[in-house]
């Protein structure tokens, strides 16, 4: 079921792109790391600690760029950042 949903959401081209799939796996792993890492720091340092101790920002930037490129390719026009993953700031704890 997850494969069908994934293919539907990102399209066949990205669904078959090994780099894109690796980035998705990397994001899930980095999110799993971010929780315990952020627990080691006081609240005011959590975001900074997660940013510098994980690769989460790099992976989400790559995914966001690929998704925007796919959307631009389909419509022939640039899209605004409706869901800019790279600028998401969470409370991580």
- pLDDT tens figures, 35-55: 898 899 999 998 888 888 888
How far apart are the C-alpha atoms of 92 and 75, rounded to whole Å?
Answer: 35
* 4 pLDDT above the threshold of 50: yes
Question: Do 46 and 38 touch, CB atoms closer than 8 A?
Answer: yes
Question: Do 67 and 10 touch, CB atoms closer than 8 A?
Answer: yes
What ranges make up the beta strands (E) of 1-90?
Answer: none
Tell me the C-alpha to C-alpha distance, in Å, between residue 16 and each of 6, 33, 62, 92: 10, 26, 16, 31
- At 83 the three-state DSSP class reads coil
pLDDT for the residue 82? 46
């Amino acid at each position: 079921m997850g494969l069908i949903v994934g293919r539907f959401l990102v399209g066949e081209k990205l669904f078959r792109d090994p780099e894109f799939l690796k980035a998705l796996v990397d994001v899930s792993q980095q999110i799993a790391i971010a929780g315990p890492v952020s627990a080691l720091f006081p609240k005011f340092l959590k975001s900074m600690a997660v940013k510098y101790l994980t690769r989460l920002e790099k992976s989400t930037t790559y995914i966001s760029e690929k998704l925007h490129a796919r959307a631009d390719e389909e419509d022939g026009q640039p899209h605004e950042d409706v869901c800019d993953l790279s600028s998401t700031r969470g409370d991580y704890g």
